[in-house]
Structure 1
Amino acid sequence: MDSNNTTEWRDNKSLHECMMYMLQNEIMCDVTLRVGDERTLIKAHRFMLSSRSAVFHTMFDGSLPEKGDITIPDIDEITFLDILKYFYSDDITITNNNVKEMLYAADKYMLAAVKRECETVLKQTAQSEHATKALQTGYQYHLSDLQKESLDYIEMNTNACLLSEHAVSLSKDCLELILKSDYLDCTETDICQFILKWGKHQCELAKLEPSGGNIREALGNILYMIRFPNVMMKFFSEEVAGSFLLTSDEMVSIYRSHFGVISKTFSCGLRAPVSKRQTYTVNRYEQITGPMRTAGIQSLIFLSNKEIWLKGVNIFLPYVQHDQHVRRGRREMCGTPGTVNISIKVLNDSKEEKIQQHEQINIAPYNGEVRQIDFSKPVRVTLMRDYTIVIDGMTHQIYYGTNCQESVTDQQSGVTIKFKDSSVDESGTNINTGQFAGLLFSV
């Protein structure tokens, strides 16, 4: 390096710019890393690696510190350089193309912030027909939120997910997580058909004949999570009975179950998809009045004492003054007809958007005071965690609730919803008054 420029790279530079310069130009580096299959040499600073990762700290300053070059064969060069960039600058870029590799590296070196970024990217996959792949990744790397997001989607879109190319590659543990659910939105025949496909794939991987006995061996105790009494008799007789997947006694118990004899081996309980479960409503207001001015966002926080599925919201409609009178034998109403376009969002306690829905509201005096808005998909609400519901775009005065209750219990479901003021609100909605007449949910 030119001695006349030894200080130029420091001038007017931030800390991370200086650190990156030292890394890239190998200034005062004191450790050599041999990375990837090619054992590419990468130089770095023990101090920086130890400051960002407890794994490296133990490696360099533990009871048996590493003194020579460090070999890292299980992470490719590009991924490791991205991780180094994060170590030195706090800058990290996660995409669908590198998320798997970055997640592995983040897990290996205990980088919690990087794992969270990976999980955010993977959640996009969780809300698609590839949710089984996201479930497997979440389980492998102990990402509980990703597992829950994936299972939510699988439960509501079971057939599409089981038809995904990734589904037959599910581990036994992840398959068990799915079959535990009472909420799968498909028939038990669909599940049985997939299980046979999954079992045959496991036999192929193990280079075994896909016989009933080998499939049973691959399934293990998962076999007893299939609700065979609910499988269509024709499919059971043609595809299962002759495969030797089940013992003679097990088959007899299933046939007898079709004639009213309850099987002691296999459950006959029907799965109840969220879309088909009973919907309950809690209303928080005692009286309705109007008008209430709206000047922006209306928002309220709610939490539930049980895990529920939020299916919709009752909102107060635009307030239209009118006079009713009869002219020429017909009733006429004088008002301000038109429409208003609003958006409704639900955010979790991490401010992640769980759903956003757009609605067109007619403005007319005969519309009533309250409108039920059904969500396009249910939103799983975890117990005792704050969720925020937001309405934006309501440009007209509205009806509103008064003497609102801070806590409302639905006696039939036993669910208690508690409300809190939201700092996001701009229009006067709070726990005592304002927008949001009630919530619709299932348990």
Structure 2
Amino acid sequence: MDNYAWQCDKYLPECMNYVFSNRLFSDVTILVGSTADREEVHAHKLVLMARSPVFHACFKGPLAVKEQLVITDIEKGIFEEFLRWDRYNVCQSLGPWWLDGFLYTDSITLSMENVTSILYCSRKYCVDKLTLKCEDFMENKIDAENVFGIMEEAHNFGLTNLRDKCVKFLVQNTKESLLSESFTYICRQCVRTVLTMDSLSISEEMLFEHTLRWAEAECKRRNIPNTDRNKRHVLGDNVTLIRFPAMSSSYFQQKVASGEFLGADEVIDVFLHNFSKDDGESRVSTFFEVSSRSYQPVLRFRKTLRERQSTDDKNDIAFESSIPAILHGLCVYTPKEDSEIQVVSIEVFDHRKSSIASVNNHFFEHSERKIHDVFLPQAIRLVPNKRYTISTRNSFSVKSFYGSRGKQTVQFGKGVISFYNAALTETSDSEDDWNWYRANTTVDKGQIAGLLLS
């Protein structure tokens, strides 16, 4: 008998690979592929049923397939890769662990070319461990060119964590990402995801221009004329998420009001809001959100220093805004060394000392900028002349940058942001207080470099 005792020098994944590649003990033949290119794949019911509840239902129970199992929505190459792709015989020189294919060997090599198809297989056959592998792979590959493609896949497959990672990336990389061609190919629901974001590093005017670019592409896909009314039609109720009152008056008048994209009552509503701003008031719009989602850093230190030993003690700072503002997040100092990371947790308290926002275990590393932006899950509307407190706690004791010669007030738009020493205890309002003296962060020094406001 050829290859007698082939099992002796192999680990389990190698044995499974050998069995599959040589069709040993195969007890099921599956037809895979479209009608024109359908091919046979020989497999083992025990393995398939042990790894997938869907395959279990196909072979056992009241829903079992009576005839030969046919899979028309997956190509043979992808299906074999999903089971156990035969690279072993071709690439034996790379060593016995050059094994791919998840159901048989619990291992798979993912790439941007195959991950979507493999993800489809894992979702169809309820192989959750493989779904997590695909999700982790795509999360680590997110960049400005593919973030919208990955967001679309996250939407299609219901991967909310992956979608949230894409949203987080977009907050700080909005301009570069919207310039990518992939933005014009996403579905209307994903456009809605972008337009519902409270924090974006782009002006409302530019966001509107890119939204129109998507609408033009959608008109072309639907083979309808590229008119203002048709662009509004394909966007649907996403139009109400565009913040026209946050645009400059001149841009709105020249680029929006002069066309047919908005109705007359909507145009009048935005004009009335703009007039109220000119009069020093802020009229609420009937149709649109009026606050800007384009944030800017408000930094409070005149000097950045090195070599501070950060601890897990809390860092607290209190502040007030003299005008209505939106808090998107805060700026913290990064570790000094390239190889070091920090994990920070953040809590925001209102003037009644009630917690109104939090961020748990946010990872970041050294940056040439020396400052890292941390965004809140949802932006917070700040009430003028009400005191808010930000509290952070670092998980690791690492040498980091820190600020000194802090400013008590910083100009912000037509108003002022004022900073105060946070009350670490009920009686720590005085500069002579020992708790204030030993605090890691005060008005004059500390780890919290500034705020992200609009």
Match of 2:292 among 257, 266, 270: 270
Quickly say closer, same or farther: Cα 1:96–1:303, change in 2 above 3 A: farther
CA distance in 1, matches of 2:212, 2:44: 53
- Where does residue 34 of structure 1 map in the other structure? 31
Spell out the pairing of 1:44-193 with structure 2 (5 A cutoff). 44-85=43-84, 86-193=102-209
Post-superposition Cα deviations, 1:94-119, rounded to whole Å, max 9, x if no partner, equal 12221121111111112222222212
Instruction: Go from structure 1 to structure 2 and tell me whether the alpha carbon gap of 1:63 and 1:163 turns closer, same or farther (over 3 Å shift).
Output: same
TM-score (normalised: structure 1) = 0.68
Aligned-pair CA distance for 1:45: 0.5
* Mapped partners of 1:172, 1:234: distance in 2: 29
Q: 1:312 touches 1:440 (CA, 8 Å); kept in 2?
A: yes
- CA gap of 1:95–1:314, structure 2 versus 1, over 3 A, is closer
Deviations 1:73-110 (A, max 9, x none): 22222221111121111111112221121111111112
Contact kept, 8 Å, 1:126 with 1:150, in 2: the verdict is yes
Q: Which residue of 1 aligns with 2:272?
A: 256
Tell me which of 244, 251, 255 is aligned to 1:228. 244
The whole-number CA distance in structure 2 between the counterparts of 1:358 and 1:244 is 46
- The residue correspondences of 1:187-206 to structure 2 (distance < 5 A) are 187-206=203-222
Helix, strand or coil at the partner of 2:13: helix
Q: Are positions 1:312 and 2:332 aligned together?
A: yes
| Secondary structure of the structure 2 residue equivalent to 1:34 | strand
Distance 1:205 1:53, change over 3 A: same
Decide which of 373, 376, 401 is 1:378's aligned counterpart.
373
1:245-299 superposed Cα distances (whole Å, 9 cap, x missing partner) = 21111112222222115431122112252x536789xxxxxxxxxx99xxxxx98
| C-alpha spacing 1:186/1:71, structure 2 compared with 1 (3 Å) | same
Which residue number corresponds to residue 364 of structure 2?
355
Give the AA of the match of 1:39. Answer: R
What SS does the corresponding residue of 1:271 show, helix, strand or coil? coil
Q: 1:77 to 1:204 in 2, by over 3 A?
A: same
Label 1:142 to 1:440 Cα distance change in 2 as closer, same or farther (>3 A).
Answer: farther
Match runs of 1:286-435 below 5 Å: 311-313=331-333, 343-346=339-342, 354-357=363-366, 374-375=370-371, 377-379=372-374, 388-389=395-396, 391=398
Give the letter aligned to residue 176 of structure 2: A
Establish whether residue 14 from structure 1 lines up as the match of residue 11 from structure 2. Answer: yes
Structure 1 partner of 2:350: none
CA contact (8 A) 1:103 1:118 kept: yes
Check conservation: 1:135, 1:146, Cα contact below 8 A: yes
Taking a change above 3 Å as real, the CA distance of residues 107 and 254 of structure 1, as seen in their structure-2 partners, is: same
User: What secondary structure does 2:194 align onto?
Assistant: helix
- Name the stretch that deviates more: 198-207 or 60-69: 60-69
Cα distance between partner residues in 2 of 1:74 and 1:413: 61
Structure 1 contact 300–390 (Cα < 8 Å) conserved:
yes
- Provide closer, same or farther for how the CA distance between residues 346 and 302 of structure 1 changes in structure 2, counting only shifts above 3 A: farther
Q: How far apart are 1:348 and its partner, in Å?
A: 9.2
Distance in 2 (CA, whole Å) between partners of 1:195 and 1:309 is 25
Whether the aligned pair in 1 keeps the contact of 2:297 and 2:451 (CA below 8 Å) is no
Q: Secondary structure at the match of 2:129?
A: helix
CA RMSD for the aligned pairs?
A: 4.0
Specify whether residues 188 and 300 from structure 1 end up closer, same or farther in structure 2 by C-alpha distance, changes over 3 A only.
same
Alpha carbons 1:204, 1:210 under 8 Å: kept: yes
Q: Distance in 2 between matches of 1:83 and 1:138?
A: 20
Residues in 2 aligned to 1:4 and 1:150: alpha-carbon distance in whole angstroms: 53
8 Å Cα contact 2:219/2:225 also seen in 1:
yes
